[in-house]
Amino acid sequence: MEKYIQLAKELGMVNAKIISSKEICFDIRAILKCRWGCEDFLNQTIRCHPRDTTFQERVEMIKRYNHILLVHSNDARTLSEAVLEIEKAAFLDGYYFAFAIRFCNLCRACAVKEGKPCPTPEKVRPCDQSFGIDVYKTARNLGFPCEVLQCKESTQNRYGFVLID
Ligand code: SF4
């Protein structure tokens, strides 16, 4: 698993840590804020669509994994790119269920947001909030910084997950 931590750092991530699904904090209130608190949910279905899965099913999916890479970045787009790279590396290593959880920020300007089709729908991964993950609590419990930003200029602490095996 160490190689995936190294790969994350080579990809410019601030930090990365292997955790288990027991260390991920779930809270159904994350879905409350996803459905009503986020402008994207109704407008950009490919980024946010729950794909006909229930909250319990999504929690169950994540709980099947014993090794999960938590990836920390200060930049949303490079984080979206990095988790896909790490997912691909793990898959090629034989972890055939490797999968990233990360709201899609792959493009500088999201085509979906402009009413156009997504050019790479196969690269869109689920948003952590739609999986009911309390990212604040999860990151803080693991010693990673995660605070509510007070202004747009504040350093962003973004997190993604790569479910490995
Ligand atoms: S890949 Fe680009 S266009 Fe597609 S959802 Fe992600 S950011 Fe939007």
In this predicted structure, what is the pLDDT of residue 44? Answer: 66
Identify which has the larger pLDDT, 39 or 69.
Answer: 69
Ligand 1, pocket-test mutation among 112, 116, 122, most atoms within 8 A of CB: 112
Per-residue pLDDT band at 39 (split at 50, 70, 90): confident
pLDDT digits over 58-92, tens only?
A: 999 999 999 999 999 999 999 999 999 999 999 99
User: How many A from CA of 14 to the centre of ligand 1?
Assistant: 23
Residues with CB under 6 A from ligand 1: 46-47, 104, 106-107, 110-112, 118-120, 123-124
Where residue 48 falls among pLDDT bands split at 50, 70, 90? confident
pTM for the complete prediction? 0.94
Query: Rounded to an integer, what distance in angstroms lies between the CA atom of residue 37 and that of residue 106?
Result: 22
* Residue type present at position 132: G
Where do runs of H (alpha helix) occur along the chain? 2-10, 29-37, 40-43, 45-48, 55-63, 76-92, 135-141
Kindly state the DSSP code that residue 26 receives in the 8-state scheme.
B
Q: How confident is the model at residue 42 (pLDDT cuts 50, 70, 90)?
A: confident
Q: Which atom of ligand 1 is nearest to the CA of 80?
A: 6
Residue located nearest, by CA, to atom 4 of ligand 1: 118
Q: How high is the mean pLDDT of the chain?
A: 94
